[in-house]
Structure 1
Amino acid sequence: MDITERVRKLHEIMCQNKVDVYIVPTADFHQSEYVGEYFKIREFLTGFTGSAGTAVFTADEAYLWTDGRYFIQAAKELEGTPVRLMKMGEPGVPDIEHFLNDSLPERGVIAFDGRCVSLGDGKLYEQIAAKKQGSVFCERDLAADIWEDRPALSEEPAWELALQYAGEDRGSKLERIRGFMREVGADCHILTTLDDICWTLNIRGNDIEFFPLVLSYAVIGMDRMDLYADASKFSDELRQKLEGDGVVFHPYNDIYEDVKKLDEGATVLIDPARLNYALWKNIPGKMGKVEMRNPEILFKAVKNPTEIDNIRKAQLKDSVAHVKFMKWVKENYDKEVITELSASRKLDELRAQQGNFIRPSFEPIVSFGEHGAIVHYTSSPETDVRLEGGSFLLTDTGAGFYEGSTDITRTYALGDVTDKMKEHFTLTAISNLQLASAKFLHGATGMTLDMLARKPFWDRNLNFNHGTGHGVGYLLNIHEPPTGFRWQFRAGEIQPFEDGMVVTDEPGIYLEGEYGIRLENELLTRKGLRNEYGQFMYFETITFVPMDLDAILPGMMTEEERRLLNNYNSAVYEKVSPFLDEEERAWLENYTRAV
């Protein structure tokens, strides 16, 4: 059954159920960024494999909204299907809200699986339907009958993240959460976000693609935490430890009926952006509600001293692997057959040699030549190409070590590249280094600081169509709120940088049909001098991989920009060289030389 047939069958089911618009987000029941195979219903219906996008089906049409990271990829994957690409943020392209306002007929019905839609989105759809004297229908997954061979829910085992890595026990974390609950007047706290639950309990698993998380819900009270998860995933030992800390196990799906029984005289703390609509609908209407961001989000974003020590170790391990990879690919691309996929495997082999490697921390992007212009490209046997001279190889990959998660992007010049390519590479390096060197007063946000990265591009009437950086979780989500670098205003994303936050720095430039360049390091937020003007902050770069001097034009850089590059590459040599053999050290010395 191809995409055309799947869309046709969905339209039939919509007609049978008197549904005018059906919405399918990229989500599981927990608003996860990556989802397990069971939840890939949007991909099944549209053929688009990217990790972000929303499909909307009207009575006789099909649409897919996605952001700038995926425009090129989505256009290719939707070609030949009845699904129309809607490029978010582009001129003339309405957002989903305006599209629904215009497309929903009078007394129309908007349908969606309420478990896969956030509370905020669900309320928005309610409001849109109400304007047309219509309604929402959220009790059924209409596409379930079409996906006959749908994979089962994950049954992978859960495991405990030891205190030597977590740095804080679950009892302490629960007490901090309960302290916050007292401050805001809440008696209980419903959690559906997997990273928040796993961080709280110091557990990890394998239920989500790439992210080591456990499918679960939780209700935290003042004297117990009800955990809704498949208990068979937990060893007897781990289950006893959790129960000893006041955790009570329940079957995974029982949460929907159990919340109906919550005390109507109590007050519940919920995060509207992270609670699914179906669960919210089941909370007793008379219950008091405190609606605000989950406190766990900021708690886990500020890394504790143990986590910071471990993260530095993980970054150094991955830096060593990248240096070895850079040498290997530059010396061998024209001597043996190396492709995008084989290069990706080689990088993970080198990571595994560093010890305590679990798995990639997100879907690897290893793209050569024109594929590099596809921001979130994923190589496959159908698209895999051989590396050749005269272009760039871009690798945006990450590792999950017990010491933490990494996210590193490098672009390598293979053979001779043009001056235009070198200009764009040098521009990207300048952008990366300027942001990393920022000194700022406490209270500054990513909206404030993103200008440092954008200015070199904007001065030349250029731009890159993605955020400049994001927070990084510790063996959790690789894209971790609430911090990041982004120049556009987005409600709920304005968070001052705090000491201990880890954030990426990843500017780039992309020329469709030619090449892409991105350079990404991780930065650790640190406190600097405090004086009469306030608390100054700065970033400590914790990624140590050379910026390829084969693609740098020193004459294009100011003296200060060359100093930043030379200081960075000098630090790379100092940190990484002790882990290399004599030949590798000599090679690295050349690629970190002063320019």
Structure 2
Amino acid sequence: MIQDRLKALRSEMAKRGISLYVVPTADFHESEYVGEHFKARKYITGFTGSAGTAVITMDEAGLWTDGRYFVQAAAQLKDTTVKLFKIGEEGVPTVDEYIKDTLSDGGVIGFDGRVVNAAWGKRLSEIAKEKHGSMYVNEDLIDLIWTDRPPMSKAPVMIFDNKYTGEDISSKLKRVREQMAQKGATLHLMSSLYDIAWLLNVRGGDISYVPVVLSYLALSQDSCIWFLQEEVVTETLKAYLDKNGIQTRPYDDFYEYVKHIDEKETVLLNTSIVNYRICDSLPDGVKVIDAEDPTVVMKAVKNEVQLENLRKAHLKDAVAMCKFMYWLKTNIGKISMTEISASDYLASLRAEQEGFLDLSFATICGYADHGAIVHYSATEESDRQLKPESLL
């Protein structure tokens, strides 16, 4: 199946004269974890880990991943023709080094400009120029061949109460605008889903275990425009945003908005997060301040309300964990239990706690030799029966 997908991708590459095509793990927002719609690298290689980059040429396909996933990747890439490149191992080239060595003179580097951050995109552009080549970045080739691709998530948006945040939107916006003024920025473009959720005191569910909302934000001294999928804007959410002076526009309109930013503006953005297509769409005269979003440090410093809630959350989780340990030690060898059933039982104990919303990530429950696999996640095929021996 993977070989068929690679063949289909190479056919699309050939039609466009693309020499090599890059498929990272990221969504349009450089998120660490991504929703099902954005798992293009998983689709084209078969590797399901959370980190990795694929590079496909006309006669070779490679996957780069780190030490957490060497064992898993080797197993999942078997018989796919995709070669594993172990990041950090001696003699293994980086993705950029491989692209530079592999790209022929006059060759074309292709990728979807929305899933590569601007800083990396610039480096790839420099490699292309060095090889007298070019870039093809305005089309998602995986989308052309992924016929049953899941749609983008449109999970409900939850307004996060001040009893959890300890600070309202107006205070947060004021602090960010003060930082913008200090840096000399008149407009701040944000695409980090974590930072937008923090700034607007909202939570969502567009990525499993990560309570974020697929969106972009444009903030000036006198306006705040939130670009998100229109279907998730309820009357309650609209009233909340109106009250706080926040306008909404459709999610996909952000790229058109960026093209028409006034050339007199000085834009603050982080090229390590904001994608290549956004930065490439900025009018030539716009001055860019490439710096970390002010919200990064702000959200790292917890206020007293947040600290108290963190303590409560850890106590509740400890209760669930202690109950689980007692159940495990009391029942192991007496009743049937597996990696998956044990994980499910622990999740049910956590769900009993007041205020529970979701797990923070899929439970890592590995028995015997599975315990040596970093970030192991049991599947129906790998699920192991637990016994009163070995290590869980």
Q: TM-score, normalised by structure 2?
A: 0.98
Whether the 8 Å CA contact 1:223–1:246 is kept in 2: the answer is no
Aligned residue number for residue 357 of structure 2 = 358
Aligned residue number for residue 170 of structure 2 = 171
Residue 389 (structure 1) shift: 2.8
What does 1:144-543 correspond to in 2, within 5 Å?
144-393=143-392
Cα shift readout 1:247-281 (whole Å, capped 9, x = no counterpart): 11000000001111111011000101110000111
What does 1:96-107 correspond to in 2, within 5 Å?
96-107=95-106
SS across alignment from 1:319: helix
Amino acid of the structure 2 residue aligned with 1:189: H
Moved over 6 A (4+): none
Residue 390 (structure 1) shift: 2.7
Amino acid of the structure 2 residue aligned with 1:161: F
Amino acid of the structure 1 residue aligned with 2:160: L
Residue 231 (structure 1) shift: 2.9
Quick one: distance in 2 between partners of 1:7 and 1:363?
29
Quick one: distance in 2 between partners of 1:180 and 1:363?
37
Residue 11 (structure 1) shift: 1.3
The alignment yields a C-alpha RMSD, in angstroms, of 0.9
Amino acid of the structure 1 residue aligned with 2:185: A
Aligned residue number for residue 141 of structure 1 = 140
Residue 206 (structure 1) shift: 1.1
Amino acid of the structure 1 residue aligned with 2:242: E
Whether the 8 Å CA contact 1:159–1:234 is kept in 2: the answer is no
Amino acid of the structure 2 residue aligned with 1:112: F
SS across alignment from 2:153: coil
Residue 303 (structure 1) shift: 1.1
Residue 363 (structure 1) shift: 2.3
Amino acid of the structure 2 residue aligned with 1:122: G
Cα shift readout 1:1-54 (whole Å, capped 9, x = no counterpart): x11111111111111111011000001111111111111111111100011100
Quick one: distance in 1 between partners of 2:391 and 2:307?
33
Quick one: distance in 2 between partners of 1:156 and 1:241?
18
Quick one: distance in 2 between partners of 1:358 and 1:107?
52
Quick one: distance in 2 between partners of 1:309 and 1:382?
42
Residue 235 (structure 1) shift: 2.2
SS across alignment from 1:115: coil
Amino acid of the structure 1 residue aligned with 2:92: V
Verify: 1:60 aligned to 2:59, yes or no.
Answer: yes
Cα shift readout 1:360-389 (whole Å, capped 9, x = no counterpart): 111221111111111011111011001123
SS across alignment from 2:83: strand
Quick one: distance in 1 between partners of 2:191 and 2:129?
27
Q: Name the structure where strand makes up a greater proportion of residues.
A: 1
Amino acid of the structure 2 residue aligned with 1:331: T
Quick one: distance in 1 between partners of 2:80 and 2:235?
49
Quick one: distance in 2 between partners of 1:85 and 1:374?
17
Quick one: distance in 2 between partners of 1:80 and 1:371?
22
Residue 74 (structure 1) shift: 0.7
SS across alignment from 2:222: coil
Quick one: distance in 2 between partners of 1:216 and 1:47?
28
Amino acid of the structure 2 residue aligned with 1:230: Q
Q: TM-score, normalised by structure 1?
A: 0.65
Structure 1 gap segments, 5+ residues each:
394-595
SS across alignment from 1:367: coil
SS across alignment from 1:60: coil
Structure 2 gap segments, 5+ residues each:
none
Verify: 1:94 aligned to 2:93, yes or no.
Answer: yes
Residue 234 (structure 1) shift: 2.5
Residue 232 (structure 1) shift: 2.6
SS across alignment from 1:346: helix
Aligned residue number for residue 28 of structure 2 = 29
Quote the sequence identity (%). Answer: 45
Instruction: Give the count of matched residue pairs.
Output: 392
Cα shift readout 1:202-251 (whole Å, capped 9, x = no counterpart): 00111112101100001011111111002331321221121221211000
Aligned residue number for residue 75 of structure 1 = 74
